[in-house]
């Protein structure tokens, strides 16, 4: 579901990327993200998932709330939200979509 990928050598740092199996879980991932934001994000969501083309938000039906497009994982990107620490809101999260 996740693979560990080194993205920096000194100091060594890793990130976890979704495998093909993991990418198929994106509706589940989005549901968990929404649940976490609702119940634990007291300072606002740390990450926001946006439609790449127009910047709209992802609805519970996995559609864009701005342009109405049906969204798949490759259509969206993650940006830092108001609850992210040490990052500016709206800044891209490593260009990796929905790897939450
Ligand atoms: Zn859109």
Distance 50 CA to ligand 1 centre (A): 8
Distance 58 CA to ligand 1 centre (A): 8
Residue 52: closest CA among 17, 3, 93? 93
The Cα–Cα gap between 98 and 100 comes to 5
Distance 49 CA to ligand 1 centre (A): 11
Q: Model confidence over 53-100: pLDDT tens digits? A: 999 999 999 999 999 999 999 999 989 898 887 777 788 876 554 444
Count CB-CB contacts under 10 A for residue 81.
20
Predicted local distance difference test score (pLDDT) of residue 13: 85
Distance 12 CA to ligand 1 centre (A): 36
Six token digits for residue 43: 């300072």
Predicted local distance difference test score (pLDDT) of residue 94: 66
Distance 22 CA to ligand 1 centre (A): 23
Q: Model confidence over 10-46: pLDDT tens digits? A: 888 887 788 888 888 989 989 999 999 999 999 999 8
* Maximum distance among all Cα pairs of the chain, rounded to whole angstroms: 43
């Amino acid at each position: 579901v996740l693979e560990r990928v080194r993205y920096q050598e000194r100091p060594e740092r890793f990130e976890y990327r979704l495998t093909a199996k993991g990418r198929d879980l994106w509706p589940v991932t989005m549901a968990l993200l929404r649940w976490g934001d609702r119940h634990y994000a007291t300072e606002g969501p740390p990450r926001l998932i946006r439609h790449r083309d127009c910047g709209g938000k992802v609805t519970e039906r996995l559609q864009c709330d701005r342009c109405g497009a049906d969204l798949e994982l490759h259509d969206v990107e993650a940006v830092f939200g108001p609850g992210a620490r040490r990052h500016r809101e709206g800044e891209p999260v490593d260009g990796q979509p929905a790897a939450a």
